[in-house]
Amino acid sequence: MKPLFYLPFWFVRAKFAGKKTPLQTVLFISNQCNLKCKHCCVYGTENLYIKSFEQIREELLYSYNLGSRFVDFEGGEPFLWNENGKNINDLFRLAKQTGFFSTTVTTNAQQPFNQCDADAVWVSLDGMGNYHDQIRGRGSFDRLVENLSQCKHPKISINMVINSLNYFSVEETIVWASKQPNVQSLAFNFHTPYLGTENLFLDWHTRSEIIDKIIQFKKAGYPVMNSISGLKLMKTNQFKKYCWITNFILSDGTRLNECQGKQQNLCDRCGFCMAGEMASMFRFKADTVLAGLRLRLKDRK
């Protein structure tokens, strides 16, 4: 029941008292990965960073003391992390012991994840078949499908980042995901053109058309997690950003109060649809508020 009390308390403080307290943490535990994705700005750096258990403990405590109560573990590929017999499940337990309400993990699903103890799992899917493979590498789609089909985790969602290579596959991805018995929902983002990945940025006209299609599917009852109000804001990106709601700790230990896109002056081309969701929430859009509550309460076992 704690989130039911904490979420309204947090919102009132943020909206009416101007308290910029993070609600969630994105914690990169390593930049080690088993894929070389075309859109990635994490893998491929000169230095390999793999955090120790104690470093992660300290970073979780730091984030909790800031006010964060939800944590998403990311990489690289988080399921590659291990230390002296500990694996990522030990990190989920550590987060709960620290006081976080729920834990999520984002994976490329290239290895089995059916023993995952996170409250919710996000599987990164970049379209059907060749659309996915041209971004993540040959055979990666088939491995994802196989590992996803074998996973019995009760709370799995799909995350698709739409770019100039895969936007043709959005509709078939929605239909496919809706037919997977162990997939609860799917969420959409658009590619943010970090340095070296500018060619993947989707033009604004096409983005608007794609958003209209996603909204049509949502209205038809397909399990799209994004709210309609939030999606509409992402058509132009002309809205006030509230990205301080999430704090980020990068794989090299860098701590950010907002996403690293701001450092690269990319806010006007942001593709993170959570920005639209947060702005819509502060506008008291009922569909966004309900979507947020469903997400936060759903992520708890």
> What's the pLDDT at 296?
61
173: amino acid identity, one letter: T
CB contact set of 81 (below 8 Å; sequence gap of 6+): 29, 30, 32, 50, 51, 75, 87, 88, 91
| φ and ψ at residue 104, rounded to 5 degrees | -130, 160
Residue with token string 């699903």: 109
CA atoms within 13 A on the CB side of 251: 21
Query: How far is residue 288's CA from residue 263's CA, in Å, rounded to a whole number?
Result: 27
> What's the pLDDT at 279?
92
Please answer whether residues 79 and 33 qualify as being in contact, where contact means their C-beta atoms are separated by less than 8 angstroms.
no
> What's the pLDDT at 8?
86
Locate the domains of the chain by residue range.
21-225+244-262
Q: In terms of CATH, what superfamily is 21-225+244-262?
A: Aldolase class I (3.20.20.70)
User: Residue-wise pLDDT tens for the chain (301 aa)?
Assistant: 477 788 888 989 998 999 999 999 999 999 999 888 988 876 555 689 999 999 999 999 999 999 999 999 999 999 999 999 999 999 999 999 999 999 999 999 999 999 999 999 999 999 999 999 999 999 999 999 999 999 999 999 999 999 999 999 999 999 999 999 999 999 999 999 998 899 999 999 999 999 999 999 999 999 999 999 999 999 999 999 998 999 999 999 999 999 888 888 999 999 999 999 999 989 988 888 777 766 666 554 5
Q: State both tokens at 272.
A: 């993170």
> What's the pLDDT at 299?
54
* b/e sequence 201-211, b meaning 16+ C-beta within 10 Å: bbeeeebeebb
Q: What is the pTM of this model?
A: 0.93
CB contact set of 90 (below 8 Å; sequence gap of 6+): 53
Of 283, 292, 272, 278, the closest CA to residue 225 belongs to 292
